[in-house]
Structure 1
């Protein structure tokens, strides 16, 4: 099994609990979220395909029927933090990224 290369984005402490930040990764804007009592990390594209703007990192973290979601700050569509799938239109799926916490740092797979 090969080891992945990881890019350090920020410290975990730079992301307030149940919020997101935006980072530039391989030329793309990525929204990174720190969620829940276990402070799980999620990363997905920051671009909202409905509002056509890079705003998802400023969305509202929530829970829809037990599924962790991010709600777009523009038109309020809900996206699964785990899969990127839009709950209102399942044909729309955001790109997700492998993210981890390593020694207090947030890292994305290169």
Structure 2
């Protein structure tokens, strides 16, 4: 059973940008948007590389997304599903901020 792990301080994050963290031996891309943290798998299933934390964040409709840096597919930060091809997805992990510390559960 996995538990929340402290990853960094919220002040270590750059708003609307991603960072990569190793949590329970999993590469996790963490994004800080509008005071909330989102955590997804860092592995790009199309580009076949651990690069999702380098993607550009934005929105499509009501969905917050990250564009994969290699081929620009957009992944929903809440569900992990690719907007352009719903057969593709990345894992989504629980993330939270408590007392200015970012926690992720893998």
TM-score tier, shorter chain, comes to over 0.9
Q: Which runs of no fewer than 5 residues in structure 1 stay unpaired?
A: none
Paired residue for 2:102? 106
Alignment of 1:11-30 (within 5 A): 11-30=9-28
1 CA distance for matches of 2:3 and 2:50?
26
Displaced runs of 4 or more, over 4 A: none
1:80 to 2:66 alignment: no
* Consecutive unaligned residues in structure 2, runs of 5 or more: none
CA RMSD in angstroms comes to 1.1
1:9 aligned to which of 7, 10, 13: 7
- After TM superposition, give the deviation of residue 95 of structure 1 in Å: 0.5
For 1:33-88, what per-residue CA distance to the aligned partner results, in whole angstroms no more than 9, with x for missing partners? 0012xx11100000000000000001000010121000011000000000000011
Equivalences, count = 105
